[in-house]
Amino acid sequence: SESKPAHFLQNIIREDLAEGRVSQVATRFPPEPNGYLHIGHAKSICLNFGLAEEFGGTCNLRFDDTNPAKEEEEYVASIKRDVEWLGFEWADGVKYTSDYFDQLHDWALHLIREGKAYVDHLTPEQAREYRGTLTEPGRNSPYRDRSVEENLALFEQMKNGEMEEGECSLRAKIDMAAPNINLRDPVIYRIKKMAHHQTGDKWCIYPSYDFAHGQSDAIEGITHSICTLEFEDHKPLYDWFIENLPVPARPRQYEFARLNLNYTVVSKRKLKQLVDEGHVDGWDDPRMPTLSGQRRRGVTPAAIRNFCEMIGVTRSDSVVDVGMLEYCIRDDLDKNAPRAMCVLEPLKVTLTNYPEGQVETLSAPGHPVRDDLPTRELPFSRTLYIEKEDFREEANKKYKRLVLGKKVRLRNAYVIQAEEVIKDDSGEIVEVRCSVDLDTLGVDPADGVKPKGVIHWVSADRSVDCEVRLYDRLFEDPAPASGGKNFLEHVNPDNLKVLSGCKAEIGLAGAAPEQGYQFERQGYFCRDNKYGSADRPVFNRTIGLRDSWAK
């Protein structure tokens, strides 16, 4: 943020502090626990926690849990994990909107007593009809002028479970002719005969989002309540409740543009559909744009935070190129990921002039510039594996790998020359017999002819059998959910390729899950945190070395 000009929220906060309107900044991140967090939420997390950090304030994690029908404890747990993983700390204990149900209920009674709320018996269909449209004012409900006593009695009956779901609701009495439809007597409590993940069976009436949100902000002393632009039209209602209730503080709402990414869907509802219909293997599938999926894939918290910094904060909606996220992922891994070698599709190489049974240990740098990363030990032996695609019987000059009769350098090791090819009955090459020049460690061959290519390899005697999963974009359409398209029809059919007979350098036996590595010449990978065993790990490709989608 040192190099970037301040965004509008930083400016607002700076002025609020300078002019004494606010003495200590307090923000909150308020997810509804109805799904896992995705990359869009990361923008809101980085913004809210980031502003608190920057201005020496606090940021709460508050579960906006007013709809028990869609919420679950599993989601609560995953959201906490993901916020912590991103590297943020919430202020004194997790908050729940449901912690305030008693207070919110009292405030509903307050509005009733002030003649500012009433129990309405319109059916949901009737209520829709009475609400009017953008161009036509609404009409007053015939129940709007009930007495305070009657409203108190009916609301009590609602609370005691004596009414059916949908039979009636509590509405704020504002203005059915207001140009802003949100002010046309919004529902503030509805009946839901359903247990809640935090409050159990205590309640069968639940507050609406609009009634709960600003009041929860006030209870927590939130100074800047930051939400996405679709809540701009709710702001007059947010302010109406704050003005008409004896709340302990006066929070203010500010809106910013949500993150949209091409080739991606960022909607919990749609992501849940991908999970429920089996298009992916759970919310944390490495193809998912969820934080847990990205984490499992090997994306680092720093990459996501850098990305959020790079896209900035504005008030105009736009679509960000997913290539920008990929750039941040690659950039962070390039700087920090230890290097390793892994052969994805092995071809056996026998070094005919290297003693049988001998194993020597070569060494290789952990990283080309980071000398704080430990040096690797590479066992070298008579039988090795190289990539199938790194050998050809014949090739033109552009092919800088191993060719029959020619030389190539083995990365971090010696120069070899291919002498003979062994094929199976079907004509497939199963082995290349080579000679090794043991005078070439770190130096050119004695004849002074430097081999053109360098290829990666592993020792057949001392390597790790593994599975490698190559992921591609989940969607093949840049805007899979736009313009009424069914996003499920645009899932990329080639979004996963599983390679099962891979051979990794021995050091990768001890790879920690989620720790990123650059498999030299292949891309960035991490050990899967869910599948695989101690002696046969699974590695996920986080991202290739270069953007293969750029045309």
Residue 59, both tokens? 């940021």
**Nearest distance, CB of residue 308 and Mg ion, angstroms:** 19
Q: What Cα–Cα distance (Å) separates residue 271 from each residue in 31, 39, 285, 482?
A: 15, 12, 11, 15
**Nearest distance, CB of residue 481 and Mg ion, angstroms:** 14
Contact by Cβ (8 Å): 525, 542: yes
Residue 351, both tokens? 């070094």
**Nearest distance, CB of residue 473 and ligand ATP, angstroms:** 18
Annotated active-site residue 32? The verdict is yes
Which residue, 32 or 476, has its beta carbon nearer to ligand ATP? 32
Helix H segments across 222-314?
235-244, 268-276, 291-297, 301-311
User: Is the four-CA dihedral 129, 134, 138, 144 of positive or negative sign?
Assistant: positive
HSE toward the beta carbon, residue 140, CA cutoff 13 A: 9
**Nearest distance, CB of residue 254 and ligand ATP, angstroms:** 11
Which residue, 264 or 412, has its beta carbon nearer to Mg ion? 264
Which residue, 25 or 378, has its beta carbon nearer to ligand ATP? 25
Phi/psi for 217 (5° steps) reads: -55, -45
Annotated active-site residue 268? The verdict is yes
Per CB under 6 A, residues contacting ligand ATP are: 30-32, 40-41, 43-44, 64, 227-228, 258-259, 266-269
Q: Whats the size of the chain, residue-wise?
A: 551
Which residue, 32 or 467, has its beta carbon nearer to Mg ion? 32
Which residue, 64 or 514, has its beta carbon nearer to Mg ion? 64
Binds 44: which of Mg ion, ligand ATP, none (CB < 5-8 Å by kind): ligand ATP
Q: Which of 287, 419, 435 is nearest to 352 (CA)?
A: 435
Binds 228: which of Mg ion, ligand ATP, none (CB < 5-8 Å by kind): ligand ATP
Distance CA 264, CA 276 (A): 18
Q: What Cα–Cα distance (Å) separates residue 351 from each residue in 6, 306, 357, 397, 437?
A: 61, 46, 12, 24, 10
Which of these is catalytic: 144, 258, 388, 536? 258
Residue 344, both tokens? 């994805």
Binds 157: which of ligand ATP, Mg ion, none (CB < 5-8 Å by kind): none
Contact by Cβ (8 Å): 244, 273: no
Which residue, 288 or 344, has its beta carbon nearer to ligand ATP? 288
Per CB under 5 A, residues contacting Mg ion are: 32
Q: What Cα–Cα distance (Å) separates residue 37 from each residue in 23, 120, 306, 309, 512?
A: 31, 36, 18, 18, 24
Binds 297: which of Mg ion, ligand ATP, none (CB < 5-8 Å by kind): none
**Nearest distance, CB of residue 120 and ligand ATP, angstroms:** 26
Which residue, 222 or 402, has its beta carbon nearer to Mg ion? 222
**Nearest distance, CB of residue 414 and ligand ATP, angstroms:** 52
Which of these is catalytic: 190, 268, 287, 376? 268
Which residue has the closest beta carbon to Mg ion? 32
Q: What Cα–Cα distance (Å) separates residue 315 from each residue in 44, 318, 548?
A: 13, 10, 32
**Nearest distance, CB of residue 268 and Mg ion, angstroms:** 6
Distance CA 27, CA 30 (A): 10
**Nearest distance, CB of residue 64 and Mg ion, angstroms:** 6
Q: Which of 98, 119, 66, 115 is nearest to 244 (CA)?
A: 115
**Nearest distance, CB of residue 220 and ligand ATP, angstroms:** 14
Which residue, 80 or 392, has its beta carbon nearer to ligand ATP? 80
Distance CA 403, CA 525 (A): 28
Binds 350: which of ligand ATP, Mg ion, none (CB < 5-8 Å by kind): none
Which residue, 32 or 54, has its beta carbon nearer to Mg ion? 32
Q: In what order do the strands lie in the sheet with 342-343?
A: 339-340, 516-519, 523-533, 536-543, 463-471, 496-505, 342-343
DSSP string covering 165-232: TTT-EEEE---TT-SSGGGSS-EEEEE----BTTTBTS-SEEE-HHHHHHHHHHHHT-SEEEEEGGGG
Distance CA 206, CA 524 (A): 47
A 10 A CB-CB count for 134 gives 7
Which residues does the annotation mark as catalytic?
32, 258, 268
